[in-house]
Amino acid sequence: MVFLQPLQEFLPSLLIKSFRTKKMLILTGVMLTAVLFVMVGETVQEMQLAEWIPTTKIDVDISAWLGVWFSVFPTIETLALQAFAMVFVIGSYLYLQFVRIWKPRMLENLN
């Protein structure tokens, strides 16, 4: 695959020039949050199949493709733990934004 060598050298430099570091880190954080959402749903379903945690089905029509691609299953435990994971991650981000950016600005405006 020697003919791909120039492409392998050119493509990363093109991506680095087109994306700023902060934007790239934000995009990485969003993708990791999506991966966490899927992993929590899959882990809860596996634990329910192993009967380690109870299964409480709810009467919601969730498409099969959501279960396959995003591990969204119609059980209280799955949906609750996925919601908890998202609230935790987004809440942590907002808290750090408050501490690092919003609070200093508010204190600066008071002085």
User: Is the pLDDT confidence value at 20 over 80?
Assistant: no
For residues 32 and 24, is the Cβ–Cβ distance under 8 A? no
Mean pLDDT value of segment 22-35 = 89
Question: How far is residue 28 CA from its own chain's centroid?
Answer: 9
Residue with the bigger pLDDT between 35 and 7: it is 35
Q: Coil, helix or strand for 22?
A: helix
Residue 78 class from Cβ within 10 Å (0-12 exposed, 13-18 middle, 19+ buried)?
buried
Residue type, 27: L
For residue 13, the model assigns a pLDDT of 65
Q: How far apart are CA 6 and CA 13, in angstroms?
A: 11
Q: What pTM was estimated for this model as a whole?
A: 0.74
What does the pLDDT read at residue 1? 57
Q: What is the pLDDT of residue 52?
A: 96
How far is residue 88's CA from residue 28's CA, in Å, rounded to a whole number? 17
Specify the pLDDT at position 73: 92
